[in-house]
Amino acid sequence: MSPTFQILLLKGAFTVYLLATVLSLLNTRRHSQPLQRTIFWLFTSAFTLHTLCLLGRWYVAGYLPVTNLFSTQFFFSWTLAATYLYFELRYRIQSSGLFVILLTLLLLASAMPRDPAIPPLIPALDTPLFTLHIIFSFAGYALFAMAFSLGVLYLLQVRLKSALLPNLSELRKMNEEAIFLGFALFTLCMIFGSIWAQVAWGYYFSWNIKSVWSSIVWLFYGGMCHAKFVRRWQGSGYAWLSIAGFGVVLFTYLGIGLLMSSNHPLD
């Protein structure tokens, strides 16, 4: 797949995502079913283009190209879109996933001006453990982003009691699912990362800021998986925790990668 074709697919995906987002925004007022179906098919088409572009880049590179800021944004946006589609297909969340769609669009928009060239793989990253670590890491992040979105909507719904949004019970159920799935996938990310550290450095945990914050993310969401059984933390408390947790995720991914020197640089 030529670089020109990759860019064409990327721009195509972005345009169709943008169209789906604009229509989603319009539909928050109208709540029209035919329009919602159109949005779903537009989003699915954009995701197909996005997936084709990802697979093409993977095939050309010979490895999952997630080694610089462009490619992590590109891959993170793909996992976000996949997460939205999962919830849409399972729960018909419609406009409730608007934040995730917007985040997908934002990540793609900020990735597009960057150089999409695939750098040669350095031997330190030439291991299937890297691929597994990356896939589960971003899948976990995407589900935590979805939990954030659902948490915000839950708090809005407590105040607005709007017919346009899913009811509180549904929002809570979806939020718990996003947290649990995110925690499960992030656990796998941590396990594969630890095995990789053992074979690369000789020890499975390093005292650097990225590893410590990844452990914080894991502990935080592990605590959340327990908090849903405590009455005080159900409902609004859980929604607030979902919002706070995503703050921790954002700092772990972007804050450390961009603002601090670590063994997980983004550029």
Partner 1 sequence: MLTRLWSWFCSLKVAIVLASLVTAIAIAGSLLMHFNPQIFAGLDTYGFGDWHRNFGRRAPLLASWFYLTGALILLLAVNTACCFIDWLLHIRSRWRKIGEYLIHLGFALVVFAYFWGSFAGSRAQLSLRPGQLQPVAFQPGYFLRLESIEPVIGVSGRPVDLLHNLSVFHGDTLTQTTTLHANTPLFLGTVTIVASGSGQQVVGYNAILPDLGHAADLIPGALIPLAGATRLQINDIRNDGNNPHFNLTLVDADIILWEGWYTLQQALPDPLRKAGFHPIIRQSLMMYTSELTINNDPGRKLALLGGICLTIGVLIALFSFYAKRRRGDRPDIA
Distance, in Å, from the CA atom of 207 to the CA atom of 267, rounded to the nearest integer, reads 21
- What single letter denotes the amino acid at residue 55? L
Q: How many residues of this chain bind partner 1 (CB under 8 A)?
A: 53
Nearest approach, Cβ of 240 to partner 1 (angstroms)?
13
- In the complex, minimum distance from the CB of residue 209 to partner 1, in angstroms, rounded to a whole number: 5
Instruction: Determine the interface stretch with partner 1 among 29-37, 96-104, 156-164, 227-235 (rule: CB under 8 A).
Output: 227-235
Between 109 and 254, name the residue whose CB sits nearer to partner 1. Answer: 254
Amino acid at 163: A
Distance, CA of 229 to CA of 231 (rounded, Å): 6
Instruction: Name the segment binding partner 1 (CB under 8 A); options: 25-33, 57-65, 93-101, 207-215.
Output: 207-215
Sole binder of partner 1 in the list 25, 52, 112, 195 (CB under 8 A)? 195
Query: Measured between alpha carbons, how far is 163 from 37 in angstroms, rounded to an integer?
Result: 19
Is residue 59 within 8 A of residue 1, CB to CB? The reply is yes
CB 253 within 8 A of CB 162: no
| Shorter beta-carbon distance to partner 1: residue 106 or 240 | 240
Binding mask 117-156 for partner 1 (x = CB under 8 A): ---x-xxx-xx-x---------------------------
- The string of DSSP codes covering 56-116 is HHHHHHSS---SSHHHHHHHHHHHHHHHHHHHHHHH--GGGGHHHHHHHHHHHHHHTTS--
Contacting positions for partner 1 (CB under 8 A): 120, 122-124, 126-127, 129, 168-169, 172-173, 176-177, 180-181, 184, 187-188, 191, 194-196, 198-209, 212-213, 215-216, 219-220, 222-223, 226-231, 233-235, 248, 260
